[in-house]
Structure 1
Amino acid sequence: MTDPGVVVRDRRGQVSGVARRIPATLVFIGVLLVLGLVSEALWRPLADGPWREWVAYGVPAFEQGRFWTPITGTFFFSQPWFYALIPVGFAGFAYLEFRRGTRVVLTYFWIGQLVAIVVAALFFWLFAMTGWPWAQMQAGALDAGPGSGLMACMVAAIALVPTPWRVRGLFILLAGLLVATLFGGRLADAEHLLAAVAVLVVDRPLRLRKATIREKRLIAFVGILALGAITVLVALVPTNGPFGKTQPLSGSIGDVLFDVVVILLIANGLRRARRLAWLVAILLGLVNLLAAAIVLLLVGAGEQDDVTLVLGGDPSTEIATAILWLLMIAYLIVYRGAFRWRRTAKLGASPRPDADEVRQQLQAHGGGTLSWMTTWDGMRYARTPTGIVAYQVHAGVAVALADPIGPEDGRAQAAADFATMAEEAGLVPCFFSSQESTRAAVPDSWRNLIVADDTIVDLPGLEFVGKRWNSARTAMNRATREEMTFRMSRLVDESWGIKAQLRGISEMWVGDKSLPEMGFTLGTLDQALDPEVRVALAISPNGDVDGFLSWLPVYGADGVVRGWTLDLMRRRDGGFPPVMEYLLGSSALHFRDEGAQFMSLSGAPLAHEYPPDAGPIAVLSDKLAEGLEPVYGFQSLHRFKEKFHPRYETLYLLFRDESDLTRIAAALTRAFLPGATVRQFAGAGLELVRGKS
């Protein structure tokens, strides 16, 4: 048991270590709180005290010669409630200092703060002379606080986040600042936007041209939904932006409803790369731009009262929203290549591969322990210039099984090409039960989860001698005493009676489960009828089949079978008790004598041995294994396979990022249980509950 005192000391050490790496953050917060206490800004607005004229910055301060205010104003907040936001406001500051050091964070902060204050003041001073009401109002306003510098640090901190979250975070932040400026219109809003833009221009972390097709579609999806939300928001709350003030429900409710309904209809189509959705979005944006252009012409002609009467409110929101639509249209046109999906499109080049060609490729170039499963019914095939990828499509996800098929030196490129093809078709690409070679082939930004450990038994020199083989040896000796017979055969060559017995055993096994027989990487007797598949039979003295196994071939690059993969494991109730140990041991010796190099006992799902510091993934895997044990017994199966002392090769789920996992989980559920009904899922849930009680 861990000593609580040791845990407390460790935590104190961790906190102390973090504090030593963010001194500027701690000093800055301390200064803000002390000055807030001294100036009474902690409990009353800065404008109500005597300090405002000497510390607040803005055009009036510069006109009166108070050029020190950009520095002094940084250490005061204009409103007391801003002090409550210090933890949020300094999050980016602290993260940037922790990652890149004190000197870097102070550089970003002060450049962002000073550039935003000075440029904003210059902008409003110049445009106030034109008579622009918004510019005149902000030219007379004063502001205080470190917000612009903190915003610059936030942008720089998000730029350190790995892709694709970097692009998403920057896009959301920039969109929020733009909306705040257009519809809030405060001096501080404009300053924050300028600080963020300054960092984006200098560092250029938001490089959309280098973003993936998927990211470009996701930005369009989020952007169009944001436009819908903004349309509703500005109709319900007052605004005071660059184009004037509005009151709640002052505009045309019909126009708002029309825009929102169309946006809801096309948003998911943009995410799925539907060309029609892209076209409708362009047309909707053009309609909004046309309406705003007409409003501007009428206002310019001095007909604002008539425009207000027609619109039922102030035309300012029409103009502000049009600016957002203009940006959306420009984005959709620039990145139009990301929205070329056609309903008839199929992945890969022609001619389309079929299962027979996949077999020929496996026999000519070899494959992995799961490769023969790609020849089963239900698989689709994508031809790439360097290979073939077998996959299924469920819930908008293209789930590639195992590794690409074809010449070994072209498999990595085939994996990369398949991912691109799937994205261009509007599908979510992923690879299931892939080996390390495919993991190395996908983009560096992809994530991976360990889904199983392939259990490999090396056959050359295998002998069941010594204490470690006691279980297998005991089963085989007992089988000899009880006159059991082992036969390695092909199911297609067996008699009708043997086939009927095997089908009866399988149906009885499936009948004991709440869910139907699984598919995808788990075969059935239909797959065992393949002439290339071997079946191992344990036959009792009276001729009954007490158990059987099916074995899938694993070809080498020389066209010779170099190993076998276990698929079906079935036993008769009330038959020979250690029939599985007997069948596996006898199969191993049989394949060894034939010259095979190994036999795979297949993957052990959710049974990977994680290191102690593996973190949440290991915890999640253990919880899933524990929860599914009453239904499928993965852990029991893993412990059984350990009797044959296999070595382990990791199998991965490869995917783009965590936001895909929900859809991938739904796709894998349908792949493994394509015929499962809601009632069967409910029955499995009850079985899980009973297993935990």
Structure 2
Amino acid sequence: MRKTITFAGRYLATIPLSISFAALILVTALVTGTFFGPASADTQAAWAAGVTTVVDMGSWWTIFTALFIPWDPFQLVGDILAALILLGVAERLLGRRRLVPVFLATGLIGVGLGVLVQWVGSLAGEWWADGTSFDLTVDPLTPIVGSLLAASAFMGPLWRRRVRLVAFGFLIMFALYDGDTSTVYRLIAAIAGLVIGHFLSVRRRRGMVFLRSSFGEVRVLIAAVVLITAVGPLVSLLNPNGTGAFGLAGSLYGDIFPSAADIKTFCATATTGVCDDFRRLGALGGVGPVVQTFVPLALLLVSAWGLRRGRRFALWLGIVTNLAMIALALVFLGLVSSLTSIVDDTTPLEPIDVGEYVVWGGSTVAVPLAVVILLFVTRKRFALRAPREAFIRFLVIVVGAFLALALINVVVGAFTLDDFTPPGTSIVELVLDLPRRFLPVTLVGITGDVLIPAAGVTLFLFQWIGPVFWLIFTIASFQLLTATEHSVTVGDHQRIRALLRRGGGGTLGWMTTWPGNLYWFTDDMDAFVAYRVINGVAITMSDPVCREGAEKETIEGFAAFCDANSWMPVFYSVHDQYLPVFEGMGWQYMSVGEETLMHPQSLEMTGKAWQNVRSSLNKGVREGMTTVWTTYDELSRTKVAQINAISEAWVSEKELPEMGFTLGALEEIKDPDVALMLAVDAEGRIAAVTSWLPMCRDGVAVGYTLDFMRRADGSMPGVMEYLIASSALHMKELGVEVLSLSGAPLAQPPVPKGEEPPAPTVMTELSDFLARTLEPAYGFSSLFKFKAKFNPSYSTIYMAYPDPLALPTIGGAIGRAYLPSMSPKEAVSLVRTLVR
């Protein structure tokens, strides 16, 4: 909490103008009365902008005053938050000197040009302008939006694209489906801000540059289009009095059925046939059918989510759903037209204006058709298919649900045939009517022999089997869209071992041979990256394995591969020599631990710093301790049993789950290329065991990395110091160049005497917090201090990632990589340990 307050204080200290604007609109709300309720007629006439005040009354200054008065208390709260956050970001990027003119310019252009467009459009008889020409607006959000879009020119490519995409997505959606004047003014201000920002930034020297988008960027854009066109009709549904050009699209959703009072009024003057149709439409109503009208919306949301992940099924789901919506609109439009043409002139149902037909058809037919064309043209961007087994499972679930629900409906309906309308309904007609139960009611129609059961269980099934089926379909679709084929090709393991023996991968490279990893190879098969995909995040576990000089090509190739598969690439446990490559790609990175290194060829265990280690060595010699350098395959059955017993005893003593990923366990020491160093006591029993992962060059092991460490209960105190020191001395005899005691997660290197510690950052504070939190559970700090006994040098290991916004997702994926099989009981134990 203290750090949050400190951060907020630092942030607010950098945005004095934004704070002043927030205070100003609070004062204007109090003065004009909008603090207590919506703007009154007098307030609007004096301060609000619109055709009436600016043109008719000549109050030109309202274009300026409208920028500083909120409409009501609700908007006041939103405007204050927007000022402190959105305008604050703009102030930090633009600077105080540029913020004021940008703020005024975008605000005045947004409101002034908006009023001008309304006035000219109303004179020409344009539908939207004529309908909104009497509206008056006060809206501080207009200049805030304009300033933010201008400041986006000073952001990095990632945030610039996201801010613009989200801002224009919402602005265009509300302008088309709601159409209130404030939204249109904001859209104009945003466009003005985009242009002003371009000329203020250094990019103006290069002119307008259209950068080629990656697969991921295109997918985000297309998914956003599908999302906006799906959610847009809801905006018009929530505001039935809106004037948006596409506002009538909301008429396909919600309760479209006439009430009893509507039927009585309608039938008082309508012909008998039309009245019967109207009664039939009313009988089709209910909670279930209303829910079913939202099925296209739910399917489009699923499609948008899948399109973001590059899934082929999501592409066809979006195409088919939009085509179905076109059919739905045409049938609905035809039914309304039919009703209008046959109703007497004396009926309360007024004929629909031709202009409304055009607008309604444009919003309900042209928009879905445009989305269909967009998806079909860009279909090559969505090539990821689900595994065959997952698709078969999807078909079984969907078809099975359809048949089961249909059978239940027919069986129950067969017992109540006498209660159906029209009378005399047969089993055959009941079966033929089944498809209608799974379609939106507007496609069923209000004419023809629609079967309607009497109230009871049959009516309940009649109304709800459709929504239940589409719920099952939606859940099954999500499962299909998340199914991914993860497999290792035959020969991959032999190939990676050959490349590792040649050289590459650093001190942690041999971890890539462990089970659970997938492999990406360059086109020439001369380099590879090992990774795991968890929650859409592709996590690597070492430096890329490649020849010197091919680092950039390998990293960029793997990033492109992940982009094509809609994964977030994260290079985990990489060393500092690769950071320039990530900087060139515009990625960010953070420390995730410190690797402790020893150099056996220059190792001399002399001096006070080595006193504790020498004591352990001497004690081991006195107690008759010996060491054995070997491999798992060379062990006798007795020694294998002892190692298994030591490991199981160590695991059984812990309530917490054993960690994996970059931390090997018993299975990993069985690799014939992995060396073991055993400490054997005077009685021939194994007192401790360590495993050492090789680091090769030209087929020769030139380094080893410590992985597996276990000590037997009751073994000599200091046995691990004895064993590691003995291993280092043995490696000195073997000519080994580097010995890594592996990484210490979340650790920071000690600050040399006489030097000031580096200034804390958000990332280092986060790492420190995690280290303190997890220390009681896993003892990372204790392990780091233990390794410090060997006077190592330190090498920071990093995590490089392209998207800082995805850090929570990345953190969750890495957590699952380390603890993939955590049970509920172990999770409770972990939480209990952390809160002690």
- For residue 678 of structure 1, the aligned residue among 803, 811, 823 is 823
CA distance in 2, matches of 1:586, 1:687: 35
- 2:692 aligned partner: 551
Q: Say yes or no: does 1:283 pair with 2:283.
A: no
CA distance in 2, matches of 1:228, 1:585: 66
Q: Say yes or no: does 1:572 pair with 2:715.
A: no
* SS of corresponding position for 2:515: coil
Rate the CA distance shift 1:225–1:502 in 2: closer, same or farther, 3 A.
Answer: same
Alignment map for 1:168-187 (pairs within 5 Å): 168-187=162-181
CA distance in 1, matches of 2:214, 2:341: 45
- 2:161 aligned partner: 167
Alignment map for 1:75-474 (pairs within 5 Å): 75-76=68-69, 82-91=75-84, 92-200=86-194, 203=197, 210-243=212-245, 249=254, 251=256, 253=290, 256-289=293-326, 319-320=362-363, 325=368, 328-329=371-372, 332=375, 335-343=378-386, 354-385=492-523, 387-442=527-582, 444-474=585-615
- For residue 638 of structure 1, the aligned residue among 775, 784, 787 is 784
CA distance in 2, matches of 1:134, 1:304: 27
Contact 1:353 1:383 survives alignment (8 Å)? no
Contact 1:217 1:272 survives alignment (8 Å)? yes
Alignment map for 1:487-566 (pairs within 5 Å): 487-556=628-697, 558-566=698-706
Contact 2:79 2:140 survives alignment (8 Å)? no
1:450-497 Cα distance to aligned partner (Å, 9 max, x none) = 222111012222111111101110001111111111222233223222
1:2-47 Cα distance to aligned partner (Å, 9 max, x none) = xx9xxx9x9999699636xx45x56666766666666666667665
Shifted more, 225-234 versus 41-50: the winner is: 41-50
* SS of corresponding position for 2:799: strand
- For residue 725 of structure 2, the aligned residue among 585, 594, 600 is 585
CA distance in 2, matches of 1:400, 1:351: 18
Task: Note the C-alpha offset of 1:447.
Answer: 3.1
Shifted more, 225-234 versus 579-588: the winner is: 225-234
Contact 1:452 1:652 survives alignment (8 Å)? yes
CA distance in 2, matches of 1:50, 1:488: 89
Q: Say yes or no: does 1:651 pair with 2:797.
A: yes
The RMSD of aligned alpha carbons is 4.1
Contact 1:45 1:79 survives alignment (8 Å)? yes
* SS of corresponding position for 1:433: strand
CA distance in 1, matches of 2:616, 2:654: 27
CA distance in 2, matches of 1:106, 1:29: 14
* SS of corresponding position for 1:518: coil
Rate the CA distance shift 1:341–1:17 in 2: closer, same or farther, 3 A.
Answer: closer
Task: Note the C-alpha offset of 1:430.
Answer: 1.7
Task: Note the C-alpha offset of 1:562.
Answer: 2.0
Contact 1:182 1:320 survives alignment (8 Å)? no
Shifted more, 256-265 versus 536-545: the winner is: 256-265
Rate the CA distance shift 1:69–1:661 in 2: closer, same or farther, 3 A.
Answer: closer
Rate the CA distance shift 1:525–1:11 in 2: closer, same or farther, 3 A.
Answer: closer
CA distance in 2, matches of 1:395, 1:601: 31
Paired letter, 1:475:
S
Question: What is the total number of aligned residue pairs between the two structures?
Answer: 676
Task: Note the C-alpha offset of 1:603.
Answer: 0.6
CA distance in 1, matches of 2:648, 2:7: 56
CA distance in 1, matches of 2:541, 2:384: 23
- 2:480 aligned partner: none
Rate the CA distance shift 1:55–1:513 in 2: closer, same or farther, 3 A.
Answer: closer
TM-score by length of 1: 0.85
Task: Note the C-alpha offset of 1:548.
Answer: 1.4
Shifted more, 156-165 versus 36-45: the winner is: 36-45
Shifted more, 239-248 versus 129-138: the winner is: 239-248
1:327-369 Cα distance to aligned partner (Å, 9 max, x none) = 6556545654431213469999x99762222122122234311
Rate the CA distance shift 1:690–1:592 in 2: closer, same or farther, 3 A.
Answer: same
TM-score by length of 2: 0.71
Contact 1:208 1:216 survives alignment (8 Å)? no
- 1:629 aligned partner: 775
Rate the CA distance shift 1:561–1:524 in 2: closer, same or farther, 3 A.
Answer: same
Rate the CA distance shift 1:455–1:13 in 2: closer, same or farther, 3 A.
Answer: closer
Rate the CA distance shift 1:55–1:186 in 2: closer, same or farther, 3 A.
Answer: closer
Contact 1:274 1:339 survives alignment (8 Å)? yes
Task: Note the C-alpha offset of 1:404.
Answer: 1.3
Rate the CA distance shift 1:189–1:457 in 2: closer, same or farther, 3 A.
Answer: same
Rate the CA distance shift 1:159–1:338 in 2: closer, same or farther, 3 A.
Answer: farther
Task: Note the C-alpha offset of 1:587.
Answer: 0.9
- 1:607 aligned partner: 747
Rate the CA distance shift 1:127–1:50 in 2: closer, same or farther, 3 A.
Answer: closer
Contact 1:46 1:52 survives alignment (8 Å)? no
* SS of corresponding position for 2:532: strand
CA distance in 2, matches of 1:535, 1:596: 15
- 2:435 aligned partner: none
Unpaired segments ≥5 residues, structure 2: 258-289, 344-348, 389-483, 751-756
Paired letter, 2:45:
R
- 1:48 aligned partner: 41
Task: Note the C-alpha offset of 1:271.
Answer: 2.5
Paired letter, 2:14:
V
CA distance in 1, matches of 2:815, 2:74: 48
Rate the CA distance shift 1:690–1:342 in 2: closer, same or farther, 3 A.
Answer: closer
Q: Say yes or no: does 1:70 pair with 2:63.
A: yes
Give the % identical residues.
31
Unpaired segments ≥5 residues, structure 1: none
* SS of corresponding position for 2:602: coil
1:535-565 Cα distance to aligned partner (Å, 9 max, x none) = 1111111111111111111123x44322110
CA distance in 1, matches of 2:169, 2:370: 11
Task: Note the C-alpha offset of 1:407.
Answer: 0.8
Shifted more, 47-56 versus 486-495: the winner is: 47-56
Alignment map for 1:656-667 (pairs within 5 Å): 656-667=802-813
Rate the CA distance shift 1:170–1:353 in 2: closer, same or farther, 3 A.
Answer: farther
Shifted more, 72-81 versus 600-609: the winner is: 72-81
Contact 2:594 2:744 survives alignment (8 Å)? yes
Which has the bigger relative contact order, CA under 8 A and spacing at least 6? 1
Paired letter, 1:342:
R
Task: Note the C-alpha offset of 1:77.
Answer: 5.0
Contact 1:605 1:634 survives alignment (8 Å)? yes
Rate the CA distance shift 1:552–1:85 in 2: closer, same or farther, 3 A.
Answer: closer
CA distance in 2, matches of 1:347, 1:269: 16
